[in-house]
Structure 1
Amino acid sequence: MTPHTPLSGSAISDSSGSSDPSGSPGSSEATGAEYVLSAAQLRERGVTGARLAARCRAGGPWQPLLPGVYLLRRGVPTGAEVLRGVLLYAGRPPGRTGGSVRPYGDAVLTGAAALALYGFGSVPSPEEAGAVDVLVPRTRRLRSTGCARIVRTAALPEPVPVGGLPVAPVARAVADAVTVTADAAGVRLLVTEAVGGGHCDPATLVGELERAGLLRRPYVLDAVRTLLAEGRSRAEERLYALVYAFGLPEPLWNVELRLPAGPGLGPVDAYWPERSVAVVLDVPPGGDCGPGRDGDAGWAAGVRRREHLERLGITVVPLTPRKLRDWPEQQAMVVGTALAAAVDREPPAYVVALPR
C-alpha cells in the first residue's frame, strides 16, 4: 500500500489480498483520517480481533498508534494522523449535540497542538512536540499515554472546528500551553503572537490566564504586563492616526477629568471639551493583572467611571485595539457621530481636563 494515497477498500484486507466486506472507511474530515481508525470503527468494518492482531504483528501492514487506535500503514505517523489518533483515544463514542454529530465525542484539542492548527509559528508541529494536549471532562477515567496528554477540566470549552477537528478557543489553548511552559521567553512568544497576530483580544487572554491561576507565576505576569503596555502603545498610535486621517477635530490627548475642586473622574485617551465627548481605549490595565487581584473588578470599576461621566453629560466612546486595527473607518464614523450629536445635547456639567 502506498503510504500517502487515500485509503481504499483494499487497505482493509488480509495478507492474501482479499478485501473485508466493509470496504472503504469513507471520506476523511481532515488529512490523516484515512489511515487512523479505532478498534470500534474497525469492528464496524468487519475486522475481527484476530485479524487485527495479525496485521499489527511485526512485519505486518498496520501498527498500534495508541491504545485502541491503529495506523493502517507502516512508517512514522504524520501530524494530522497523530491528532486524529489522540482524539479517537480520548473521545467517547460519537455523540449528537445540538443536532450535529461530534465524531470525537467530548475530546477537544488544546495547548500547543491546537495553536499549531491556528497557525502559530511559536509552537512546534504535532510531529515535533512529542505530546498532544487533549481536554476531557474531569469525570473521565483516562490516562495519559504515548503522545496523548490528558487534561481534565470541570468545564469543557465550546470547540472551534479547525480542519475538521475540535479545537479549544485560542485564549484557552494559550493558557493550557502556558501551564506546561516554564520558559519565560516561550511564554512571551505565546502571548505576543496570540494578541499581536490577531488571534484573540487582550481582555479575553488575560481573563483566561487569570481563570487558570497563571498570573501568580511571576514570568507569566511580566509577559502579560509587557504585552498590555505594548498593546496600549499601538492602540494609542492608531487612535492618533484615525483622528488625523479622517479629519476629526483635534482633541485633548491623555487627560484626567475631574470636577472643579472635586474628586477625579478618571483618565480618558481623547477629549473634546467643547463637545464633551471622550474616547476611552478598552485595554486591560496592567495593574489589574496581579496575584490575588480580580481582573473583573478592574473592568467593573472602569464601567462605573464611564457611567458616572455619562450622568454628568459626557459622551464616552469606548474603542478596542482590535476595532482600531481592523475597522478604522467604522470607528471614525462612531466618533464623528458622537461629536455631531453633541451639538444638540443639553450643556453638561462643567469638568476640568488636566494633563496626565
Structure 2
Amino acid sequence: MTSVATTADLRKSGLSARAILHACTPSGPWQKLLPGVVLTTLSPPTRLDRLRAVLSFVGLSAVITGADALIRQGASLPLPRHIHVLAGTNARRAHPWILLERTTRPPEVVERHGLRLAAPARAALDLARRETNPRAVVEILDAVVDARLCTPRDLREELEAGCRRGTALARHALSHLYPP
C-alpha cells in the first residue's frame, strides 16, 4: 500500500476534513505534500512518494516524463530538480517542483511501481527538448539507447511524430550519433 493519499480518498474512507487537517499539523503523524495530497508517514518523502503525489495532484491524464520516467525504466541519468509531467490540455494545476506540460498528443504509457510513465523515446525527447547544452542532449540519447530502452529508430520516429519546437539539438545529435 502506498503512503500517498488524496484528501478526497481519505474523506471517502471515513475521515473528516478536520481529522485530516489535524493529522497534517506539525505535531501530527502525516504531512501535506501538495494541495489535496498527503503523505501518511512522518518520514521524509522519497522520490517515489513525490512522483505518486504529482500524479494524484495533476489528475487522471497525468503521465511522468523526462528524466524521472527514464530513471524508473532503467536509464542512468541524474535526478532533475523538477518532476516533469504531461497532462491533457485542460490541466491547470501548478506547483514549484512540478514542470507541467500540456499536450494534445498523449504518450504511450508504461506502468512501473504504480506510476504512469511516458514511453522511453517520448520521455527522452521531452527531456532533450528542454536542454540547451548539446553535450547533455547527447548524454540523454546515449543513456536511453545504452540502457536498451529504445532504439535510434524509435527516437527518430518520435521526433517525426511530435512537435518540432525545441528539437534542433536532438535532431542534430541523433544524426551524428546514429546516422540513418
Same fold? TM cut 0.5: yes
Structure 1 position 153 matched with structure 2 position 103: yes
Corresponding position of 1:191: 141
Q: Which runs of 5+ in 2 are unaligned?
A: none
Contact 1:175 1:212 in 2 (8 A): no
Compare relative contact order (CA 8 Å, sep 6+) and give the higher one, 1 or 2: 2
TM-superposed deviation, 1:197: 2.6
Pairwise CA RMSD: 1.8
SS in 2 for 1:120: coil
Amino acid at match of 2:146: G
Question: Which residue number in structure 2 is paired with residue 226 of structure 1?
Answer: 176
Q: Secondary structure at the match of 1:200?
A: coil
Tell whether the 8 Å contact from 1:111 to 1:133 is kept in structure 2 after alignment: yes
**Distance in 2, Cα, partners of 1:61 & 1:216:** 46
1-side partners of 2:129 and 2:178: how far apart? Answer: 20
Name the CA shift for 1:180/1:76 in 2 (closer, same or farther; >3 Å).
farther
Q: 1:133 aligns with which of 71, 77, 84?
A: 84
Pair member with larger Rg:
1
Q: Structure 1 stretches (4+) deviating beyond 4 angstroms? A: none
Distance between the aligned counterparts of 1:145 and 1:185, measured in 2? 29
Residue 216 of structure 1: CA displacement? 5.1
Any stretches of 5+ residues in structure 1 without a counterpart?
A: 1-27, 92-104, 230-284, 286-356
The one-letter code matched in structure 2 to 1:120 is A
* Cα distance between partner residues in 1 of 2:114 and 2:120: 16
Quick one: distance in 2 between partners of 1:75 and 1:157? 33
Task: Check 1:53–1:199 CA distance in 2 against 1; reply closer, same or farther (3 A cut).
Answer: same
Contact 1:66 1:89 in 2 (8 A): yes
Aligned runs of 1:172-251 on 2, under 5 Å? 172-210=122-160, 211-213=162-164, 217=168, 219-229=169-179
CA contact (8 A) 1:66 1:146 kept: no
Q: Deviation per CA, 1:220-279, whole angstroms, max 9, x where unpaired?
A: 3331122213xxxxxxxxxxxxxxxxxxxxxxxxxxxxxxxxxxxxxxxxxxxxxxxxxx
Question: Alignment identity in percent?
Answer: 32
Match of 1:79 among 47, 55, 65: 47
CA distance in 1, matches of 2:87, 2:150: 23
TM-score, with structure 1 as normaliser = 0.48
Give the counterpart of 1:63 among 28, 31, 34: 31
Number of equivalenced pairs:
179
The offset of 1:179, in angstroms, is 2.1
The DSSP-based 3-state class of the residue aligned with 2:100 is strand
Partners of 2:129 and 2:167 within 8 A in 1:
no
